[in-house]
Amino acid sequence: MAANKQRKILVAVDEGEESKYALSWCLKNVVAENGEDTIVLLYVKPPQTVYTALDGTGYLFSPDVIETIDKYRHDVAETVIEKAKKLCRDLQNVKVETRVELGDPRDKICEAAEKMAVDMVVLGSHGYGLVKRAFLGSVSNHCAQNIKRPVLIVKKPKT
């Protein structure tokens, strides 16, 4: 790899296997061995409305349930980031930064890529699970079309 400068690579992670695969593929195939690259792990918590929309009526969830969901979302974010960091440590000598954002993953990933002026964005192709994807639309399509930087979409091979 002929990269002659410190690159910043933004990897969007979520709870799915696709994003885990994308991260390992990137670590094995793109990250420089000289340890000069920085991986920025970004997890975007979907807004609460995505979960309450599942309810359909908007009435059924009691405050207790909402609180439980909130706690769950916080735990998921922590777990996802921790697992991703471990993967980075295990696979490569790479600097890691982490970021958790709240909002629509499509917007937040595009914003982060721009704000941090990253050299590359790496995404799994089926991020954010089946249910959430139905609400949020395809994250990778949106990002590939809107981010003005190199975007790598990694698909997990069917085994």
Residues binding a copy of itself (CB under 8 A): 1-3, 7, 25, 27-33, 91-92, 119-120, 125, 140-141, 144-145, 147-155, 157-158
Give helix 105-115 / helix 139-146 axis angle, nearest 10°: 30
Task: Give least dist CB 98 to a copy of itself, A.
Answer: 21
Of 99 and 156, CB closest to a copy of itself: 156
Task: Give least dist CB 107 to a copy of itself, A.
Answer: 18
Contact 32, 7 (CB under 8 A): yes
Task: Give least dist CB 158 to a copy of itself, A.
Answer: 8
Q: How far apart are CA 152 and CA 139, in angstroms?
A: 13
Of 42 and 147, CB closest to a copy of itself: 147
Contacts of 93 (CB under 8 A, 6+ apart): 33, 35
